[in-house]
């Protein structure tokens, strides 16, 4: 009997605290004329790949996986990228492109040019430009430019299951975020409060998905509240704001969250607290930081928006070969119910 029926090569990496593995080979041919169509094909026809990579015993609820693919048009882009999380396929991420570019350069998949390497990424939200700061064979920092963000609605009243009503900003920055002032729900963004942050975040996410209707004006598929960002009040004199993002089915992003940092940037821009060229540094509970910048003002399907960049660091932590034994009773892995519980059932 053949002992291995599937073999996938994975480079393990993380960016500022968030795990973002990169699949470098072993993926079957994905049908579709471009990355958008290939992502749809995965969702509709080959979701077994997500399960194989991210369910136990190979993956975990805390891990994202990036498919490093050939670009549709090599004259337009250097790499293609599809990001997969445990329960869905986000259109774009902040930490994951940073992981992917770092892996591509440090493993030699793409040629590294010091001190700056530019990488064009074909993503489900269009062509993004990555600017990598490189020295002595190390990709030290990556800024991903060209991410469209817009304010969907501001200061929206949302009533939670416990009867409390809070104010949220609804922002799209690659996914729809509910931006919440942590003080409004009596939260302190520190390591001692992680369990409470996640529990309240789940309640807000559940309420938001039930009561709020969101719709991207150009891409109909993007119609779900994705994440909750808790943040501290903005003070232009402070070096950084604190941020904590709760991700379905109920976990904390260990990093400051790249798209979360850009959603906060967008919300502050919409309220006139930041302008074109301004930067926002968001700090995680771990103390790691992402830096977002307003590159230009724009309009996205009638909504006021910006073109933003996100910058951070990533590190490679290992190399793995994922295999499948034909006799394995769980060829797609297993999803332990106790990790998801009530939140997973209510979010679907």
**Catalytic residue numbers, as ranges:** 93
| Measured CA distances, 123 to 34, 58, 137, 314 (Å) | 9, 25, 26, 19
The helix (run of H) or strand (run of E) holding residue 262 is helix 258-270
Question: In the chain, what's the furthest Cα-to-Cα distance?
Answer: 66
The per-residue b/e assignment along 10-19, b for 16 or more CB within 10 angstroms, e otherwise, is: bbbbbbbbbb
CA nearest to 344, candidates 231, 276, 242, 249: 249
Q: Does residue 81 contact residue 119 with C-beta atoms inside 8 Å? A: no
φ/ψ of 255, rounded to 5, equals: -85, 180
Phi-psi region of 207 (alpha: psi -120 to 50; beta: other; left: phi over 0): alpha
3-state percent helix, strand, coil for the chain, nearest multiple of 5: 25, 40, 35
């Amino acid at each position: 009997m053949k002992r291995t029926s599937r073999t996938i090569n994975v480079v393990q990496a993380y960016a500022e605290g968030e795990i973002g593995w990169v699949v470098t080979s072993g993926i079957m041919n994905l049908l579709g004329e471009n990355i958008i169509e290939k992502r749809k094909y995965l969702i509709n026809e080959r979701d077994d790949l997500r399960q194989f990579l991210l369910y136990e015993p190979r993956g975990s609820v805390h891990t994202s996986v990036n498919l490093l693919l050939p670009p549709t048009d090599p004259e337009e882009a250097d790499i293609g990228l599809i990001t997969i999380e445990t329960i869905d396929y986000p259109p774009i991420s902040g930490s994951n492109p940073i992981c992917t570019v770092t892996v591509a350069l440090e493993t030699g998949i793409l040629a590294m040019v010091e001190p700056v390497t530019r990488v064009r990424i074909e993503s489900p939200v269009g062509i993004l430009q990555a600017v990598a700061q490189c020295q002595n064979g190390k990709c030290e920092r990556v800024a991903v430019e060209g991410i469209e963000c817009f304010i969907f609605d501001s200061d929206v009243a949302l009533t939670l299951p416990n009867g409390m009503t809070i104010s949220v900003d609804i922002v799209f920055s690659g996914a729809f975020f509910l931006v919440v002032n942590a003080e409004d729900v009596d939260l302190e963004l520190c390591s001692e409060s992680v369990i409470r942050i996640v529990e309240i975040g789940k309640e807000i996410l559940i309420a938001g998905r039930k009561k709020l209707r969101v719709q991207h004006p150009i891409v109909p598929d993007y119609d779900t509240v994705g994440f909750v960002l808790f943040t501290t009040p903005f003070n232009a004199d402070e070096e950084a704001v604190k941020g904590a993002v709760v991700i379905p089915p109920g976990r904390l992003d260990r990093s400051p969250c790249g798209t979360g940092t850009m959603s906060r940037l967008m919300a502050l821009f919409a309220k006139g607290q930041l302008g074109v060229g301004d930067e926002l540094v968001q700090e995680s509970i771990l103390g790691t930081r992402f830096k977002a910048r307003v590159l230009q003002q724009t309009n996205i399907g009638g909504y006021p928006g910006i073109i933003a960049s996100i910058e951070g660091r990533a590190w490679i932590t290992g190399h793995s070969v994922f295999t499948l034994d034909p006799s394995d009773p769980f060829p797609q892995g297993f999803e332990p119910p106790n990790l998801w519980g009530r939140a997973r059932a209510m979010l679907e």
